[in-house]
Each structure stands twice: as structure tokens, then as C-alpha cells.
A and B are shown apart, each in its own frame.
Chain A
């Protein structure tokens, strides 16, 4: 692993960590409260999943792209940075 790749992965890991904090912060503030047991359960599941999503994406990508070209691994992680942006946190919810 080259030092450039190592630094890149470190920066990306930092962003993913910040995303986790962002999702954790906004998960408890979610004001869209459904009625009904199933809907409440699924709304909670969605919150747990949103907090776990950055770690899941980072871990899955590193695990399943082992032995592949570095640019391929980094691009998957960059895609995650775009997809997992904590919009509720950014918008102030």
C-alpha cells in the first residue's frame, strides 16, 4: 500500500467517522413520528441503519475490494461520501 493511498484512506475514514456523528446527532432529533407498531419499528430501524450506514459502506467496500486496483477502492469510497451525506444534519434538523 503506497503512502498516498494510506493518507487518502485516512482522510476518507475521517469523513466517514464525521458522517456517523452527523447521523447519530440527527437520528435522535427526527420529528417525523409515525403511528402504528410496525411503522414505529421500521422508523427506528431506519434510524439505526442510518447511523450504521457509513461504517457498513466503509467496511463492506474495504472487505470486498481486497486485491483490486486502489483507484477502484477509492472511487467506491468517494461514491459513499456522496451518497451518505448527512443531509438532516447539514440542513439543521
Chain B
């Protein structure tokens, strides 16, 4: 796996079997180690920034689904239909999809370089768009 980071990122603090950390005191490490951990910190912040930028789009589709869940049953009532006639399973599915695709993309992209991470989040958005349109089609 050439695009994954060296283990210093994910497994920065190895823990013993009893749960105590073996690396506890910062500042006692040698200079190269400090440099590595700083690189790891920068990488982490780049990851968070990339996730946040794509997260805004995922969040919109989540908000859109929540709005549908609130507005569609109300529209059914206004049209003289029962709230039970609303496609509840599809409305709930619409809320689950953005969460599942975003978390899935985060898990798959964990520990990869920022470009690969962004590509995975974009692919996740594609999957979300496809599944969303599928849910809309099922509701028609």
C-alpha cells in the first residue's frame, strides 16, 4: 500500500496490554521524532480540512433529507391524506445515506495521503448522489 502513511501517524501512541501508554512524556523524545510528529500533525490538519470541505456538501444532502422528512408528511396532510401514507422508510433512508457514505469514505480514506483521501470523499459523494436519486425514483 504505497499511498498509506508510515505507522507513526495512526499508531503514534502504542499502548500496553493494561491500557497504559508507553510514550507519555513529550519533550523527552529526540529531535527527528519531534519533526516526524509535527509532520503527522500537519497531515492530520490537512485531513480535517479536506473532510470539512467535502463534509459541507454531505451535510447539505443530510439537511435536505431532514427537511423532506418534516415537510413531506405535512404536505400529505395538507392534501387531505394521512401522514401514514408518506413514504416513511424512504424518508428515513434519505437521512441514513449521507451519514453512511460520509463515515464510509472517512474509514476507507483513513491514513491515506490527502489527494487519495479527497478522491475517496468525492467518490463517496458520487455514491451518495446515485443512492439519493435511487431513493427519489423509488418514491415516485
Contact = CB atoms under 8 A, between A and B. Distances in A.
Taking residues whose C-beta sits less than 8 angstroms from the other chain, chain B's interface range is 20 to 34
A9 interface: no
A57 B137 contact: no
B21 interface: no
B49 interface: no
Interface residues of A, number: 31
A83 interface: yes
Q: Do most interface residues of chain B lie in helix, strand or loop, or is the interface mixed? A: helix
Contact of A30 (B61, B131, B133, B138): B133
A38 to B, nearest CB: 8
Contacts of A13: none
B137 A60 contact: no
Interface string A71-93: 00000000000011111100101
Given A42-B64, A60-B120, A93-B137, A50 B130 contact: yes
Interface in A26-42: 26, 30-32, 38-39, 42
A88 B136 contact: yes
Given A42-B61, A88-B137, A83 B130 contact: yes
Nearest to B3: A64
A93 B130 contact: no
B134 interface: yes
B116 A64 contact: yes
Residue with the highest number of chain A CB atoms closer than 10 Å, among B116, B119, B126, B134: B126
Interface of A: 23, 26, 30-32, 38-39, 42, 45-47, 49-50, 52-53, 56-57, 60, 63-64, 66-68, 83-88, 91, 93
